[in-house]
Amino acid sequence: MNNKIIGLILIVAGAALAVWGYNIYDAATSQVARALSGDTPMKAWAGMVGGAICILFGLSRMR
């Protein structure tokens, strides 16, 4: 039961992180920076990848 609660918390937190990272990636300033230099902000990658990792760990805890 405890693992399922932790898993659910990790899934919710991971989804929030992934959405936050995508919002940074899709922001106007990021789009201009990508158009000019081709660089994606590190915060965007950290949020999206960190969110995906949290979701995967959460799903593994739900078993």
**pLDDT score recorded for residue 1:** 76
**pLDDT score recorded for residue 33:** 86
Contacts of 51 (CB under 8 A, 6+ apart): 13, 14, 15, 16, 17, 18, 19, 20, 21
**pLDDT score recorded for residue 46:** 96
> CA 47 to CA 44: how far, in whole Å?
5
Q: pTM for this one?
A: 0.86
Residue numbers of the domain that contains 46: 2-61
**pLDDT score recorded for residue 63:** 83
pLDDT per residue rounded down to tens, the chain (63 residues): 799 999 999 999 999 999 999 999 999 988 998 899 888 889 999 999 999 999 999 999 998
Q: Which two tokens stand for residue 59?
A: 């799903």
Contacts of 7 (CB under 8 A, 6+ apart): 57, 58, 59, 60, 61, 62
